[in-house]
Structure 1
Amino acid sequence: MCKVLLVDDEYLEREALKIILHEELEGMMIVGEASTGRKAVELCETHNPDMIFMDIRMPGMDGLEATEIIKSRDKEKVIIILTAYDDFRYAQKAIKSGADDYILKPARPADIVEAVKKHKKLKESYREARELKIDELIHQIHIEDYKCAKEKLKTVVHQLIRLYGEQQEQLKENAQMIVKKMLETCEEKDLKPMQHWSKGSSPLEGITLFTVKERLFKVLDHIFEEIVHGKAVEDNKEIYAILNYIEKNIHRPITLEEAAEYVHLSSFYLSKLFKKELNVNFIQYVTERRMERAKELLENTDLPILNIALELSYHEPNYFSKVFKKVVGMTPTEYRESKGKEKSQS
């Protein structure tokens, strides 16, 4: 159900809007009406509408001022300006005030329907990015699964950039919200990942479209650094502890003996546990995870293949290429070229 507030000093205009909303659209509920901007601001506080149809010219506080106040309190409220002024300057002022859309009076039913459908869809997308995807990420942090948490965060960042890539402030606000939820989960688990940041600095300081992914992943890395190095294995979570340990140390060779020592198990027992839980042996799993990291670097950076090999502690580039081809089915150069072609075609 979409809750709607109608704001216009002309009674007949509000009645016409009601008819359009009820007859042309489903799931619309009129929760209030106002004839002044001041009353609209009050009703927003008491009725919490999702969408507001706002006239510009009204006695006292006009629609532009009311829009600015409402948006300063809740940026996610959809405000559609209705006006008889066919003047580009008014449209500019409306958008500057924070309005989401601008429709000329007398508004045709088709214009109202199109605007409502467009903004309902956007709100659903925002809600999905804010709640569903983030909740999946938070769940993976809660159960301490580093590999899946990284995959979920990658999805969240993709959504974030798709929805807010051109809106710097909203991008930053949503990134802050994600970090806040991640850190709230840490508090529940008595973890203190923020101690890894230099005093007085913030993970989101100076965040931009180009740095948001790196910053959010840095927060996640610090969280799992706390989990891996600061928390004992408990409740038979040896396999999760090992997987997290591998993810945190993927840049260097990891032996079965080293991993077994980390969780205080024999290498023989850990080898059997690995095969039972993951249906793959320890060395194969580590190699595949290292190649996944190599694929990320090949796709998202311009690092030479030699540097990528060294980053993953392969000191012989030819051997690295041989392993990569065995796991991925093509050489590092072929993989990078294929991903480059995909990006240029999309």
Structure 2
Amino acid sequence: MKKYYKHTIKNIVQIKNIVTIEYLELPVDYVYPSEKHEFWELVYIDKGSIFYYIDGAPTFMSEGDLFFLSPYQQHSIKGNNERSSNIFVLCFNSVSPFLSMLHNYKTKLQRSEKGILTKLLEEAENTFALPVRKNASYLENSRFGGEQMIKLYMELFLITILRKKNSSKEGNAFFIVDNVAEEIVSSVIAAMKKQVYEKIYIDEICEDIHYSRSYVSKLFKEQTGKSIITYFNELKITEAKKLIRETSCNMAEISDRLNFSDPRYFNLLFKKITKMTPIQYKNSIHRV
């Protein structure tokens, strides 16, 4: 029997969730209040112009402009007070590290790129009752496979824009994407080391580096083999060993300094990680 080989397809960009699909016709004095969220936002100016404020700084966008907003960036939209504008807004979740290349990326769309967005919007109009915001309401006679087609058009569009950015003067970006995960994990570890004497708030760390908690947690586990909390607990116990060696603090004082809620929990965690109690460690000869 002839032997066949299966080739695994590499998915460079994958859309996990669709959050918002909307086509808006804005008045000249339109103002969208400032907000931030954990997902990506794509804004395309189909007609007119707007001011797009990112972290307080204005970006002028005119007809044909596209802008990518990363998760957790503060942003708002204002009309130009001269003429009305039509904009297309698409919000989505993705854990692809390649999308970091599109952070605050602004570009003018070519006809072929506009064509993909047109097909995406057409598919959405025949699948959902637009706009799609908090809840997606399906049309009674929605197209077969409509959701999947929307996802495929979104991924096609994102790959097309990534290729465009990489082939332009702006980017040898693909050469540094492999380091994105390492940079994210390094940032998390650096933040944990600064907070070793405090309680850790993972959501705040993720917000500071502009990535979702689920994405950061996944990358961290892949890179270190440990969860963020496990790694942080090990940092605390390493610091506890240092305090035992270098200070005269008793175990309750060390537990308190490292912000453990209960000395008994500190004792149990210390033993779990080092295979000995804090007192046994203090009395041991080999203090690693």
Query: TM-score, with normalisation over the residues of structure 2?
Result: 0.36
More relative contact order in 1 or in 2 (CA 8 Å, sep 6+)? 2
More strand by share: 2
Query: TM-score, with normalisation over the residues of structure 1?
Result: 0.30
Larger radius of gyration: 1
